[in-house]
Amino acid sequence: MDRRKFIKNSIIGSSMIMAGGTIQSFVSESKLWKNGDVIMPVLFIGHGAPLYTLDDNKYSRAWKKIADEMPKPKAIVCISAHWLTKGSFVTAMEKPKTIHDFGRIDDRLFEIDYKAPGNPDLAHEIAKTLTDLHVEEDHRWGFDHGCWCVARCMYPNADIPMCQFSIDYHKGASHQYEVSKQLSFLRKKGVLILCSGNIVHNLGQLKFPESSTYDWAIEFDEISKNL
């Protein structure tokens, strides 16, 4: 497989069920609900640095605007780039903890406790429904910053039950895409699937200054813009 085809396939896989639509189109779709029928949109949000959740800025405002423009979900399933596992897991505790999984960037971040309730019943339903996958119910994780940094801007009252679903880091793009299709049943149940990370999230390959960016990273970025 040539590099360009590989990059394109990788983007399609990593974008999960966002493939084939923009945030605007999914939000518009959600507004077409009739007679109480609920088909929630799916969001992929680049959360950026944890600092963006602290103050009013163009990113936090955009996240809040997205939430304001769609009906309130009954629950949220968050898929974060920061929960990488061997196998598939979903948080199943009633009171998930807030995980501060970053260095000492700003002390205010460590004061944040996003107290959205968990949803053990939803976690059990996911594990029961995805029979081909073998999803384990997890009671140790919580909400990592890829989840709560965005969620607290979108839903500051922390009143929507939320689970996190892990990414099996040992599987390829085609597997991730299949998982996304299996999770899509949640949309008809009023559940918002919130995917959080970045189009490129390989911090181990981060290179400064920008003028010295890897050629493959530039190519990846350009292809993702035109999908």
Nearest to 118 by CA among 155, 164, 80: 164
Q: What's the CATH number for 46-199?
A: 3.40.830.10
Q: In what helix (H) or strand (E) does residue 47 lie, and over which residues does it extend? A: none
Residue 78 pLDDT greater than 60, yes or no: yes
Residue type, 202: N
Residue 136 and residue 69 in contact, taking contact as beta carbons nearer than 8 Å: no
- Place 7 in a pLDDT band, splitting at 50, 70 and 90: very low
Residue 95 pLDDT greater than 60, yes or no: yes
How does the average pLDDT of the chain come out, rounded? 83
Tokens of 210: 């920008």
Nearest to 49 by CA among 131, 145, 134: 145
| pTM over the 0.95 mark | no
Q: What is the pLDDT of residue 88?
A: 96
Residue 19 pLDDT greater than 80, yes or no: no
Residue 149 pLDDT greater than 50, yes or no: yes
Residue type, 171: K
Residue 168 pLDDT greater than 90, yes or no: yes
